[in-house]
Structure 1
Amino acid sequence: MPAHALSERAARAALAAHFAPGQLATELDEYTPAEVWDRRVRSNGSGLLASYRPHEELAQAELTCPFIIPSDEEWPTALADLGPACPLGLWVRGRERLARLTDSAVVVTGNRAPTEQAVTRAHDFATALAEAGHTVTATLAYGVDSTAHQAAAETGQASLAVLPRGLDGAHPHAHAPLLSSILDNGGAAVSLYRPGTAASGATLKASAVVLAALARAVILVEALDHVGSMYAAETAVELHCPLLAAPATGDVRSSGNARLLDGQLAVNSPDPRLALALPHARVARAGDVADGDLLLAAVGEQGADYFNTPYIAHPEPFDPSCGCGVCCLITDPGEVVVLSQGDPWESCDPWPANDLLLIVSAHRLTDRPLEE
């Protein structure tokens, strides 16, 4: 089929059925999706692509669910943060609700075989988020993720599921009733994969990346290192998306949390109230921090370096002769601001005014997440 006769939607669906976005990034910078498909068909020696009928395949797949693309109103704009890895499109159930749900999405994810403490934490985090109007977002996996969906449903709020397979079924299969209840409760489900596609290690990893990219914050309840939920957490780090990791318990099942927290790559807290603040986090100059703002991390070229203990700012004028033992060490010739005096440390907390911090503004802390 000539490129000019192929719709963008059909071309994107055809490309997505055969390639990962990163494999096509250079071509898509120069050519339309239809032109890229045509080029790939002509260069494919096996004849596999030439035998594929994009419009017919799309029409058949959309009998199950629609395929949305970046030009659609429902498209989650946050996915653009993935750059060359941005999906070519998404298969969706609950399309008409997707924009509203993704606007306030917060991921709650973790182990498929969690500790009892993690199950309790997942329920508490998801309940607090749902009651505050955030969209609990997770896979359908056993353990933490399914607990999060169930907790959201108990509050009467809709949730969003990201699946590593086609939306003609659930993964795991036993959670088909959970998927149905999410959709019946006003939620939605999305997938990178056309109906009929089975889950695999590759689809699980790619879906974890999309899971994190959709969210305004990610809550890692408990995770073994190198499992699917860790891919979501690591994507959050790469995208500079606020990340909370519940404290590691010493159980090997929290080894992923331990690694992230040891590297100061996540907020360390079991408190659902802090999770409510994370979606409102923003980067600000130290000199612009106001009284009552919550300080989460220092921000540098490599991203956020989270504090072991988030704290409330109380800016004071800089006085190098204050006697705290720290201010006298500041030699920066520029403006300096003191953001705390004695709490949480026993000295002042001076910062060059142009340094960047990840903060939550005081007016967003309707229920303060930390004791002052």
Structure 2
Amino acid sequence: MTGTGEREARAALCAAAEPGDAFLNRIIDHAGASAALAAVRTGRLPGGLEAGEGEVRRLEQWRIRLGASAPEEDLAVCKEMDVRLVCPGDPEWPTTLDDLGAARPYALWLRGPGDLRYGCLRSVAVVGSRGASAYGLRVAAELGAELAERDWTVISGGALGVDAAAHRGALAADGPTVAVFANGVDVPYPAANDGLFAEMARRALLISESPPGTPPQRLRFLVRNRVIAALSRGTVIVEAERRSGALNTASWARRLGRSLMVVPGQVDSRSSVGCLRLLREDPDAILVTGSADVIEVVGRIGADLAPQPSSPVLPRDRLDPATRAVLESLPARGSAGPAQLAAKAGMDLATVNGKLGLLSAGGFIERAANGWRLTRAARSRDY
């Protein structure tokens, strides 16, 4: 459990520095968050650490930002809005975030009743294009709902399109879902998802590396993708354009050794260009078509296998071998008499006549001027 001083220091560092800065994490790992905060305030590094010219400039930038921030007020807002600060070492801190190493968050701000660490034990990231097609929205919603029904937490970024559809699918199934924000957990962005976020704050979980009140910043949307990938056991890309941010999440999933799964799309769809490129060029990308495929990839080895797709059972499949042999003896077009069919099937005439009666009763054949012929239905591959 993180002490009060360290907790307050981490809250201040969240306000002063960009998320996941390797230099700041190096100071924290070396001397602790309180010493790192002191270094920001004074510009003097703890003993045993050296900094390059660019890192010294960052210390000065953080000092200026720290002067304009109010971490004490951030913590006060937490109490008012039922927002909590979770730090490394806390019971709710997911240890999977430690896989980020020097890019690990300093702390996380959480809003909602969900338990982050418990939820991440069985979790899948579902991400994709903001401008998703109707196909992408449907697939994302179905994945969210079906994964939630199987008690898998659905993690995404709360954006328009695929992200929001996945969250809504999980909520519709009354299952767990987590939105990772690039802004404060009390700032509804995009505004069109305000209702979704309100429902998630009541039933699920909103998280951010930024203190309450922080507005969205463009670069932080890419930075937060590493958290989405690290929290989950695997990432599913539903739709992605050529320059989609979802591809950045995919690269983090690969870097962290997480499973990378891709839903195939139409070859002429702009929203599927990124997905198809991943499937073509990335040997680690796994094609998935539904929740069963996803769970087989991220679930327990040998216990969560997807069922094998089965071929449809056709009426002719239910015929006994002898009757099927007579049916196969009939020409695809035209007709044939019983004697011809007996010779072709290698059976006696009496047996063939008996089978012809069964086939006629089953709607497979009908009488013709010169014997028997296939019905229109039997000429179809689906009969």
**TM > 0.5 between the two?**
yes
Counterpart of 1:83? 101
> Which string of whole-angstrom CA distances, capped at 9 and with x for unpartnered residues, describes residues 277-322 of structure 1?
1222xxxxxxxxxxxxxxxxxxxxxxxxxxxxxxxxxxxxxxxxxx
Are the equivalent residues in 2 in contact too, given 1:6–1:34 (CA < 8 A)?
no
Q: Whole-Å Cα distance in 1 between the matches of residues 65 and 141 of structure 2?
A: 46
2:180 is matched with which residue: 150, 159, 162? 162
Counterpart of 1:199? 216
Counterpart of 1:242? 259
2:158 is matched with which residue: 120, 140, 160? 140
Shift of 1:16: 1.8
2:246 is matched with which residue: 229, 233, 241? 229
Shift of 1:228: 2.0
Counterpart amino acid of residue 235 in structure 1: W
2:297 is matched with which residue: 254, 264, 278? 278
Q: Whole-Å Cα distance in 1 between the matches of residues 220 and 60 of structure 2?
A: 26
> Which string of whole-angstrom CA distances, capped at 9 and with x for unpartnered residues, describes residues 159-213 of structure 1?
11111110112210121110111232x3111011111111121111111111111
Q: Whole-Å Cα distance in 1 between the matches of residues 106 and 244 of structure 2?
A: 25
Q: Whole-Å Cα distance in 2 between the matches of residues 214 and 138 of structure 1?
A: 10
| Local SS of the residue matching 1:244 | strand
Q: Whole-Å Cα distance in 2 between the matches of residues 137 and 235 of structure 1?
A: 14
| Local SS of the residue matching 1:362 | coil
Q: Whole-Å Cα distance in 2 between the matches of residues 104 and 257 of structure 1?
A: 24
| Local SS of the residue matching 1:194 | coil
Counterpart amino acid of residue 298 in structure 2: P
Q: Whole-Å Cα distance in 1 between the matches of residues 173 and 205 of structure 2?
A: 16
The within-5 A match list for 1:1-372 is 7-19=5-17, 20-21=19-20, 22-43=22-43, 48=64, 51=67, 56-63=72-79, 64=81, 65-94=83-112, 97-184=115-202, 186-250=203-267, 251-262=269-280, 263-280=282-299, 361-365=301-305, 367-368=306-307
Are the equivalent residues in 1 in contact too, given 2:14–2:106 (CA < 8 A)?
yes
> Which string of whole-angstrom CA distances, capped at 9 and with x for unpartnered residues, describes residues 319-358 of structure 1?
xxxxxxxxxxxxxxxxxxxxxxxxxxxxxxxxxxxxxxxx
Shift of 1:31: 1.2
Q: Whole-Å Cα distance in 2 between the matches of residues 193 and 200 of structure 1?
A: 11
Q: Whole-Å Cα distance in 2 between the matches of residues 45 and 231 of structure 1?
A: 30
Shift of 1:111: 0.7
Shift of 1:52: 6.0
In 2 relative to 1, CA 50–81 (structure 1 residues): closer, same or farther, beyond 3 Å?
closer
Are the equivalent residues in 2 in contact too, given 1:222–1:254 (CA < 8 A)?
yes
Structure having the higher helix fraction is 2
In 2 relative to 1, CA 189–98 (structure 1 residues): closer, same or farther, beyond 3 Å?
same
Q: Whole-Å Cα distance in 2 between the matches of residues 234 and 82 of structure 1?
A: 13
Q: Whole-Å Cα distance in 1 between the matches of residues 164 and 129 of structure 2?
A: 10
Shift of 1:102: 1.9
Indicate the larger mover: 187-196 or 151-160: 151-160
In 2 relative to 1, CA 140–51 (structure 1 residues): closer, same or farther, beyond 3 Å?
closer
Structure having the higher strand fraction is 1
Are the equivalent residues in 2 in contact too, given 1:277–1:369 (CA < 8 A)?
no
| Local SS of the residue matching 2:303 | helix
Indicate the larger mover: 255-264 or 106-115: 255-264
Shift of 1:29: 2.9
| Local SS of the residue matching 1:180 | helix
Q: Whole-Å Cα distance in 2 between the matches of residues 369 and 183 of structure 1?
A: 38
Are the equivalent residues in 2 in contact too, given 1:245–1:257 (CA < 8 A)?
yes
Shift of 1:362: 2.1
In 2 relative to 1, CA 217–53 (structure 1 residues): closer, same or farther, beyond 3 Å?
closer
| Local SS of the residue matching 1:199 | coil
In 2 relative to 1, CA 178–142 (structure 1 residues): closer, same or farther, beyond 3 Å?
same
Q: Which runs of 5+ in 2 are unaligned?
A: 44-58, 312-383
How does the TM-score come out when normalised to structure 1?
0.71
Are the equivalent residues in 1 in contact too, given 2:229–2:249 (CA < 8 A)?
yes
**Number of residue pairs matched by the alignment:** 287
In 2 relative to 1, CA 271–45 (structure 1 residues): closer, same or farther, beyond 3 Å?
closer
In 2 relative to 1, CA 39–248 (structure 1 residues): closer, same or farther, beyond 3 Å?
same
Indicate the larger mover: 50-59 or 201-210: 50-59
Counterpart amino acid of residue 221 in structure 1: V
Counterpart amino acid of residue 241 in structure 2: L
Q: Whole-Å Cα distance in 1 between the matches of residues 159 and 208 of structure 2?
A: 14
